[in-house]
Structure 1
Amino acid sequence: MTNDQLQWQIQPTIQPPEWFIQEVRQHAGTSGHYAAQLLWQRGIREPEQLAGFLNPVLFKPASPFAFGQEMWWAIERLQQARNAGEIVAIWGDFDADGITSTAVLWDGLGQFFTQNTNLLYHIPNRLTESHGLNYQGIEALAQQRVKLIVTCDTGSTNISEIELAKQLGIDVIVTDHHTLLPERLAVTAIINPRNLSPEHQLFNLSGVAVAYKLVEALYETLPDIPKQPLEDLWDLVAIGLIADLVKLSGDCRYLAQLGIEKLQEDSQKSPAMRRRPGVGRLLEYCKKSGDRPTDISFGIGPRINAVSRIKGDARFCVELLTSRDIKHVEKLARETELANARRKSLQKDVEQQAAQKLTELDLSTTGVIILTEIGWPVGVLGLVAGQIAQKTGRPTILLTLEEAEEQESRGAEEQRGRGAEEDNYSFPHSPTPPLPHSPLARGSARSVNQIDLYQLVSDQAHLLHRFGGHPFAAGLSMPVENIPLFTEAINQRLRQQIGADDNKLGSRIISVDLTVTVAELGINLFRELKLLEPCGMGNPVPQLLIKDCWFENIWNRNIQDAGGKKVSYIKTEFQICDDSAQIGFPGIWWGHYKEEIPQGRCDAIVELDFNTYKKRYEVRVIAVRSLLSNLAPIQHWLTQTDWILDWRNQAEEQRSGGAGERGSGGAEEQRSRGAEENHLEPMVDRQTLIIRECPTNWDDLQLWFRRALQTKQKLAIAYPPPQPVPPSQIWQQLVGIAKYLSRTGKTATQAQLQQKLGIGDACLQLGLQTLTKLGFQVKNGDGYYQITKHPELETPNLDAEISRDIEQFLAAVREELFRRQYFYEIPLSTIRSVAYQTTFSQND
């Protein structure tokens, strides 16, 4: 993200009263100056408020009966069920908040009902069922003679499903925290903090905390029955709270603090002595100790979420969190870790494909980014959409187009009243389902900059199959044919929503809390900042500004992968230095390359952290910008007339081996070039970087500009002219490849397909999508494409719709060929000018 999109907002330095600093000092064990300044800035200014914020023992939590009559009705019905020996079912959800909510009720209600006899639980399958209650599940519970369902983290909008339960003789208690309907549901009780005022200390509870409050109320009304203390649930509550990214204030912060203490206490014991050996094993897998909220948000939470994203069925996660069987939970933890590794792999694939598609959009005219692809795994689309939204400063929607077998399966499921959405929301709006033969696009949406994404999507309900969510995130599905109209309509609605406030698009504000020096980094500052934990929404991680600094010992493992693309999860490591210290301080910059770190002196925004694995304090870079005093030598370098060399007229001769190669490694390099020609793979010597494949957009060149600047090397443009292959011939080749792979059962990588066809990723994906209209099935597993077609299925007649799809593919190929021709013919003076402008826009 360039700095015209990134705005630094530095908080003014405020000197708190001396009495306030003294109070903070007692808790910090250090000077307390920085922590006092931060707390004062964040509105923590009264002695009682300060004490409760820093020490949970001094906080006054709200009674569970603050929910009023609804809680009393719930407790009365639970007591009735217990006295009558009824079977009670917990209905949870498949994300981390829903899983921990289910685990809290399983352990908590398990003190009053016999587990697996009078107490059951149900977790919907992410890939085949929607969030919330569904008909099939309720009917199954009725067959098991369930008389009471207690929901957690779901249920607030399931009108028809609750009506079915009532008809089947099942009462429902809803515990949830999602948006309520205008009228109360016809349930026994609905315990939802949205019924309270926004100022209430319980208003921000997540699903797991609401479930905990129900158990707490039962403990208070039947105190002689439980055998295990209520405190044993705190660690589960903390995991769900922090993983769900709720505002950590009031009772949310209090419960998270208590839970983290329990988590750390339990993780330090031997596996045989742990209350939750499964949680301890997850912490070991992610090399965390459980004493930090980031151990949950970056460790436990993503691993629990990965199970449903990859497998769909996440029921075993409740066992993982609650079982005391060490061998059993070891097996479940290992399965969870494998699912998380698979999630990372799938997410990486989608990130790379989405990044390529993003380069083909004109962001200057795009409000809401909408990217579609056949076969994208629906479970990771929300994660990638969130990354793109943060990077571009624009709401982002990623959609996957269902394949033929999914379409048939979905048609059958619709008849039973089920849908299949990706995100963690109930779906109150369900327009008429499409016909079974109408393909669906399903996916996730994420927002930024206070743009109400839910309202934007809601305004297009007539174009959708199903949707739900909240202002910052949503899940949705729609008939594929509605995507163009939806795209146009939602962008128009966004322009109406933001009006003249253009700052909401393409911009991101970083708020700087403190200005520090390198000498001040370390254990004492870390202890003060840790007083603010757990950090999250409403209490963000402190952002530190280090002025007039520079970087040394900069390195990262991989610049590009074998295909010449950026590598996901890359990080740059360094030492950050300034005039206050004789030695630098270690740090990392996730997702960035060493070429992106400015040379010379600069200002940097960082977070201070403790690396449990390396046992060291370090900083994480959030943003960095050069000082104006550094720009003169850079400007001198960029304006050199021979900084970028034009070797395009020599490319054909070099490729055929007829001419010597300037700045190259000679014969050895010639031999290694064959497998690399179709990628922007550098051939580097002491003097020159060489680009060998013609790009299709300026983004392909920007990394090269930065690399050349960083290494002070010249940059040679040495790509050959595009081959004049007719688009129709490329289409025929693609169909031929599809028939070959189907007949032989072989697979091909994306790079192999692109090299054979001579087209980029976007055109390839469109071509594969078009193949499905001809009866082919395209699957992408672990980076290998498998294309199949039943022998008895003849190629259908090319009706108008299929002909139109083929023509769209041909048009895309023509556009790509035009772009390659443009970049082959573009004057060197234009390339130098753009390089100059691009570099300075990233250093202003």
Structure 2
Amino acid sequence: MQNNFPLSPKQQNLPNQRWLIYPEQPEITKQLAKTLEISPLIAQTLINRDISTIEQAQEFLDPESIKLPLPIEEFPDLDISLNLLQTTISQEQKIAICGDYDADGMTSTALLLRALKYLGAKVDYAIPSRMQEGYGINQRIVKEFHQEGVSLIITVDNGIAAYEPIARARELGVNVIITDHHDIPPKLPPAHAILNPKLISETSPYRGVAGVGVAYILAVSLAQRLGKHQGLIKPLLELFTLGTIADLAPLTGVNRRLVKRGLQYLPHSQLAGVQALIQVSGVQAKEEGRRKKEEGRGKEEEGTCQEGRGKKEEGRGYPPLPPFERGEEEGTQTPKNFQQSVDSGVLNPKSKDNQKSLKPDDIGFRLGPRINAVGRIADPQIVIELLTTDDMGIALERAMQCEEINQQRQQLCEEIEQEAIAWCESSQINLREERVLVVVQPGWHHGVIGIVASRLVERYGVPVFIGTYEEEGEEIIRGSARGIPEFDVFEALQFCDELLGKYGGHRAAGGFSFSAENLDKFRSRLSEFAHQCLEIKHLKPLVSIDAEAEIQELNFDLYRQIDLLHPCGIENKDPVFWSRNVRISEQRIVGKGHIKLTLIKGEIIQAIAWRWGDYFPLPSVVDIAYKMRENTWNGQSNIELELLGVRLPMEISRNSQTSPQNFPQKAEFYYSSRPYTCSLYQIGDVKELRIRNSRGEVLAIQQGQKIGLLGKTRNNAKQVDVSDARFFNLIKAAMSALKL
């Protein structure tokens, strides 16, 4: 039988990608660039992040200017939680934390351990076994806590779906506070208090906090209430930053504000474990781009405000440290509220320490993996000890253990990835028909197959469900899933509900288990679901691009302006630019299958393409999509590009118009960080615009009409008023994508 699997990279000259370039909005771009004194490329990037007004941009670029609401006003059960904790501590009763084995869960556990011990609590912790028990608090842990005389259990990064264990704790007379950030189940556990951002307003700046964010809010609020704030906030904020970035939480709202601060603290961390981890991983802090930019302006602009926003903001910066954070000899003033508690940890902008900062990538690709590796294949206690010890010797020992375990994790991932690729490319699967890839093999490590799933998505551009057998009997399959923008992993698992044992997740990722005898049915059901939401054109890795740039524009001034957008990460991605007709003058393989390139188009610039060895050599002239990076070697810094996409040169100019007689016209675009496709049809004498979302719902609007149709088919569609802002702005984005 002929192999219908898509061509492997070794059979292709170029990555099999689809490029989605945000539509240009020149008028708004010009206004933002002029008012904020930023590059049009940065202005266009802001617009792509749904930041299109001067006020929105100023708040985004200066998150310190936003006054946060008090958490006690946002989280209904926070006051109950604080009362429970205050009573338990004052009565010297035992508190136990039930954590989780991922980076979010481990940093949450360490954060609360540090805080509660500092505040005088008798506290211990437990984390379930990843291999034997799986995620979340369970009956065994509840029983052991009760036998140890625990009066109050606090879950971190878990518990919201643990109805039975929480109910059992209540039966045993143990108080329970759930702190979690996962999706809300139909039936809430009977805890005394539940802190979960999914239970608060969708517009709240706290809505996107991860488990470590909820733990941070609880700890800081308790410290403020007890009047024991001195010296506590900075180390907690460092742990918040580690956990938030490593958990891929959105870097918006309160996360953006606090992570921006935490990244400044980390290079001169007060925590022995963080110092040791930075030392072992070889991370180096970089000067903040904003400060570099200010210093580079010269004396002619001396005295102007930060970020060039006009003299009315002159002198604004991070508020100075209040006396109680400058040293114990200067008093122990108590902050009046959560806002002041948080602000008291802000670095003095005049301090030399404030000139160095880590980037989210330093955590996401260097520190985070070393923490996560332990939770995946070893004992989480190593990380808890690393992040709670004040002994530098112990910290270095634990950091070295993390390093060794991470190397083992890398080796496991490499082996499993190669085995998975070999299976895929020798199989008879036709992804154009299946539209989803299900790979199950014996002997793989449960803890790392999720990483391999992500790599297979990058390689083949389809949703991937990867699993292995739990026991030698091969009766139960346990696995992980990773999706693509148009495919909702959790909805797919729900679609297979009757075939599964345990499962959970969200839009982009999930975990599951099922009886091995259901494997074929599981594969068939997933394919059925995929056909409902995926078209053939979606079956390629997606490269989302912000704007076109000339190579001459890629200088340190632009790079420093990109720093204004930091911290970048989930829901605030690093800007991705593209350039056309770039000549590759030199290319070679470096490291483990990476390509190092010298590019020329008016200027010469270096580039790196990670894990692209299979595409070597690339054609001599290409269009490229990339991120900008600073590369420092032997004390010299240069701008280089990190290639994300490459294609043969396109002859169509960026300002070309599609012929109005050529129907249907089609385009892909993003709106509010969600992918859409749009088409313009000619129906008789009338044009009809159709906009389709990733769920298969279509908004159809005919020219000159105020009422449109919304639904999966015309038969079940409902009428909607397209002048409503949510539809009107979506339609404008679609028309822009179609160049109308």
Identify the TM-score tier after normalising by the shorter chain. Answer: 0.7 to 0.9
CA distance in structure 1 between the partners assigned to 2:578 and 2:95 by the alignment: 54
Residue 326 of structure 1 deviates from its aligned partner by: 0.7
Q: Which string of whole-angstrom CA distances, capped at 9 and with x for unpartnered residues, describes residues 555-602 of structure 1?
A: 1147xxxxxxxxxx4211011110x22xx2111001112854533322
Question: 3-state SS of the aligned residue for 2:422?
Answer: helix
Aligned length: 564
CA distance in structure 2 between the partners assigned to 1:241 and 1:86 by the alignment: 30
Other-structure match for 1:112: 119
Distance 1:12 1:178, change over 3 A: same
Q: Which string of whole-angstrom CA distances, capped at 9 and with x for unpartnered residues, describes residues 253-301 of structure 1?
A: 111111111113x1xxxxxxx4112212222333222511100111111
Residue 466 of structure 1 deviates from its aligned partner by: 1.7
User: 5 Å matches for 1:387-402?
Assistant: 387-402=455-470
Residue 128 of structure 1 deviates from its aligned partner by: 1.8
Match of 1:87 among 83, 94, 116: 94
User: 5 Å matches for 1:285-684?
Assistant: 285-290=280-285, 291-311=358-378, 313-359=379-425, 360=427, 361-404=429-472, 439-495=475-531, 497-498=532-533, 501-503=534-536, 505-557=538-590, 569-578=592-601, 580-581=602-603, 584-593=604-613, 595-612=615-632, 615-627=637-649
Contact 1:10 1:512 in 2 (8 A): yes
Contact 2:101 2:375 in 1 (8 A): yes
CA distance in structure 1 between the partners assigned to 2:490 and 2:248 by the alignment: 18
Residue 613 of structure 1 deviates from its aligned partner by: 6.1
Other-structure match for 1:194: 198
Distance 1:9 1:50, change over 3 A: closer
Other-structure match for 1:277: 272
Other-structure match for 1:136: 140
Q: Which amino acid aligns with 2:167?
A: E
Residue 132 of structure 1 deviates from its aligned partner by: 0.8
CA distance in structure 2 between the partners assigned to 1:522 and 1:96 by the alignment: 35
Structure with a larger share of its residues in helix? 1
Contact 1:400 1:442 in 2 (8 A): yes
Q: Which amino acid aligns with 1:523?
A: F
CA distance in structure 2 between the partners assigned to 1:449 and 1:67 by the alignment: 31
Other-structure match for 1:102: 109
Distance 1:196 1:624, change over 3 A: same
Contact 1:287 1:612 in 2 (8 A): no
CA distance in structure 2 between the partners assigned to 1:17 and 1:602 by the alignment: 27
CA distance in structure 2 between the partners assigned to 1:226 and 1:249 by the alignment: 26
Question: 3-state SS of the aligned residue for 1:233?
Answer: helix
Question: 3-state SS of the aligned residue for 1:377?
Answer: coil
TM-score, normalised by the number of residues in structure 1: 0.64
Contact 2:15 2:615 in 1 (8 A): no
Contact 1:572 1:594 in 2 (8 A): no
Residue 22 of structure 1 deviates from its aligned partner by: 5.3
Contact 1:400 1:441 in 2 (8 A): yes
CA distance in structure 2 between the partners assigned to 1:18 and 1:604 by the alignment: 25
Other-structure match for 2:232: 229
Contact 1:598 1:625 in 2 (8 A): no
CA distance in structure 2 between the partners assigned to 1:521 and 1:541 by the alignment: 15
1:251 aligned onto 2:254: yes
Other-structure match for 1:7: 19
Other-structure match for 2:163: 159
Q: Which amino acid aligns with 2:569?
A: G
Other-structure match for 1:28: none
Structure with a larger share of its residues in strand? 2
Match of 2:128 among 124, 134, 148: 124
Q: Which string of whole-angstrom CA distances, capped at 9 and with x for unpartnered residues, describes residues 605-648 of structure 1?
A: 1110123567543111111112268xxxxxxxxxxxxxxxxxxx
Question: 3-state SS of the aligned residue for 1:399?
Answer: strand
CA distance in structure 1 between the partners assigned to 2:618 and 2:127 by the alignment: 49
1:76 aligned onto 2:106: no
CA distance in structure 1 between the partners assigned to 2:149 and 2:508 by the alignment: 40
Q: Which amino acid aligns with 1:142?
A: H
Consecutive unaligned residues in structure 1, runs of 5 or more: 26-30, 267-273, 408-437, 559-568, 630-844
Q: CA RMSD in A?
A: 2.3
Residue 43 of structure 1 deviates from its aligned partner by: 3.0
CA distance in structure 2 between the partners assigned to 1:350 and 1:104 by the alignment: 34
Contact 2:75 2:195 in 1 (8 A): no
Q: Which amino acid aligns with 2:523?
A: T
Contact 1:369 1:395 in 2 (8 A): yes
Residue 366 of structure 1 deviates from its aligned partner by: 1.8
Residue 455 of structure 1 deviates from its aligned partner by: 1.8
| 451-460 vs 608-617, greater mean Cα deviation | 608-617
Question: 3-state SS of the aligned residue for 1:157?
Answer: coil
Contact 1:277 1:324 in 2 (8 A): yes
Other-structure match for 1:65: 72
Distance 1:315 1:24, change over 3 A: farther
Taking only the aligned residue pairs, the percentage that are identical comes to 29
Question: 3-state SS of the aligned residue for 2:441?
Answer: strand
Q: Which amino acid aligns with 1:327?
A: G
User: 5 Å matches for 1:208-219?
Assistant: 208-219=212-223
Larger Rg: 1
Distance 1:5 1:548, change over 3 A: closer
Residue 371 of structure 1 deviates from its aligned partner by: 0.8
Residue 105 of structure 1 deviates from its aligned partner by: 0.9
Residue 88 of structure 1 deviates from its aligned partner by: 0.5
Distance 1:478 1:218, change over 3 A: same
Q: Which amino acid aligns with 2:642?
A: R
CA distance in structure 1 between the partners assigned to 2:447 and 2:537 by the alignment: 28
Q: Which amino acid aligns with 1:98?
A: G
Question: 3-state SS of the aligned residue for 1:531?
Answer: helix
Distance 1:618 1:4, change over 3 A: closer
Contact 2:115 2:232 in 1 (8 A): no
Residue 55 of structure 1 deviates from its aligned partner by: 2.6
Question: 3-state SS of the aligned residue for 1:465?
Answer: strand
Q: Which amino acid aligns with 2:147?
A: Q
Consecutive unaligned residues in structure 2, runs of 5 or more: 1-8, 286-357, 652-740
CA distance in structure 1 between the partners assigned to 2:16 and 2:411 by the alignment: 32
Residue 372 of structure 1 deviates from its aligned partner by: 1.1
CA distance in structure 2 between the partners assigned to 1:356 and 1:310 by the alignment: 24
TM-score, normalised by the number of residues in structure 2: 0.73
Q: Which amino acid aligns with 1:462?
A: E
Question: 3-state SS of the aligned residue for 1:547?
Answer: strand
CA distance in structure 2 between the partners assigned to 1:37 and 1:129 by the alignment: 48
CA distance in structure 1 between the partners assigned to 2:280 and 2:536 by the alignment: 42
Question: 3-state SS of the aligned residue for 1:110?
Answer: helix
Residue 391 of structure 1 deviates from its aligned partner by: 2.4
